[in-house]
Amino acid sequence: MFHEIVYRFLVGGAIVSGFSVLGGLFKQRSFAGLFAAAPSVALATLSLTLARQGAHFASLESRSMIAGAAAFVVYACAVTLILARYRTKTLATTSALLVVWVATSLGLWLVFLR
Amino acid sequence: MSIHVTFDPRGFRRTQWREIGVRFLFGGIVTVTTGLIAKEWGPGLGGLFMAFPAIFPAAATLVAKHEDEEMERAGLQGARRASAAAALDARGAAMGAVGLMVFGAVAWKLLPTQCTTSVLIGALLAWFLVAVTLWWMRKAVRTSTWRRKHYQRKI
């Protein structure tokens, strides 16, 4: 169990930071932003899930991920709108609006996937 | 009309190791948490967190901080520009997240029947293509709209 947690941490951390460094290599801010929504956690999780729990379990996780990603779209649009219109503090805005992601993803899960 | 994406290797030099470390930490924590949630409450709930904007607040804050520092070096007040830069980053993330939905759909449909490595590579390519196409389409529409307005003003 402990080994699996350490392995997940290292693989997840490496893939996430790799994608973010890649995003930083592009000059256009909105293009670099694409990499902020790269499937980094998904790749790390799925590769480990496939080895441990099999393809069916990984497939079910991927189905739920669609709802999580839809919530990410809503969250990112809300962040864009509030930062562009009200020029609020970035860390406070992006952190506070995570509530939007949680509410949307759980709502979609309860309505469509439960 | 041509829309260029500028690849700037100097961006790597601007990134500090501490910033990479922060992203590594957040990425690792979310991956571990996703695995634990899936184990405890099943793949349905765990899968949601594969699209959790884990590093987004940290990444957007760093974008704003870099913009603020650049403005300060130029002797200008950078707070407004910093928020605008973070907003642009979030706009890109929204398009990337649409690609993320396609990634999930490809993996959901194909993982049980096809070679898993090929499915993950295919899903990654699908994410990239969808995200870049959306970005390009938005840029193309905005550029043509701007040109039309500019042209009309000149007349």
For residue B57, is it left (φ>0), alpha (ψ between -120 and 50) or beta? alpha
pLDDT > 70: percent of chain B: 87
ipTM of this predicted structure: 0.95
The reported pTM is 0.91
Confidence of residue B16 (pLDDT cuts 50, 70, 90): confident
Window from A34-48, B44-58, B137-151 with minimum mean pLDDT: B137-151
**Chain A closest-CA separation from residue B125 CA (Å):** 11
Residue A38: what pLDDT?
Answer: 94
Please calculate the CA angle A113-B92-B95 and round it to the nearest 5 degrees: 35
Residue with more model confidence, B155 or A105? A105
CB contact under 8 A, A83 and B87: yes
Suggest the residue from A1, A16, A106 to mutate for an interface test with chain B (most B CBs closer than 10 A).
A16
Residue B31 has pLDDT above 90, yes or no: yes
| Residue pLDDT, tens place only, A14-26 | 999 999 889 888 8
Distance, CA of A40 to CA of A66 (rounded, Å)? 14
